Amino acid sequence: MNTSNAVDANLEHRVEKTFCRICLASCGLDVETDGKTIFRIGPDKDHPNNWKDFCSKGGSANQLIDHAKRLRQPMKRVGDKYVEATYEEAVEDIAKRLNLIRNRHGANSIATYLGNPGAHNQPGTIAQSGFMKAIKSNNAYYVGSLDTNNLQLSVEKCTVLKWRFLSPMWIMQIVSCFWG
């Protein structure tokens, strides 16, 4: 989607309700767009996940789309420089290197980490799981492995609600009784 300020007179401005995929808080967003250009990203004040304010990451997310330094294809390091590569070259090189590591050190020497904003990418999650099963490594991690396991456990153990997969940020706002 184009984020420039050029306006097409034939396109109607509207506000689309969505959510931010940068972190697991999943704050609600109001995105002002004409379907082609993003003009503004602001907080959806009625969304249940929003805290009282709005972070700068979510509000400036549209700047990533047209950034001059955005990578648009694979890059390969050659000496002290990076050169453009095709996807085929990148996949072949990475596969060769991973096979060397696995053959030399075993399958569990390879780990994956699915962080933000990739944690909201369902195809990425499925691909990570399939890849790790295919190479027989047990070392698949995601952002919650590092920073939210304690929150998930506290929600499960200390509330009447046993909704294991709900965001703790939602739970904290709707639960009125903790014990433990």
pLDDT in tens, 96-106: 999 999 999 99
Q: What is the pTM of this model?
A: 0.61
- Domain coordinates of the chain in residue numbers? 14-64, 71-105
Do 4 and 37 meet the contact criterion of CB atoms below 8 Å apart?
yes
CA–CA distance, 14 with 103 (Å, rounded to integer)? 54
Q: Which CATH number fits domain 14-64: 3.40.50.20, 3.30.200.210, 3.20.20.70, 3.40.50.700?
A: 3.30.200.210
- pLDDT in the model for residue 165: 53
Q: In which band, very low, low, confident or very high, does the pLDDT at 180 lie, cut at 50, 70 and 90? A: very low
69 or 11, which is more confident?
69
pLDDT in tens, 19-40: 888 877 788 999 999 988 899 9
Please return the burial class of 24, using the count of CB atoms within 10 Å of its CB with bins 0-12, 13-18 and 19+. buried
Among candidates 147, 168, 24, which has minimal Cα distance to 178? 168
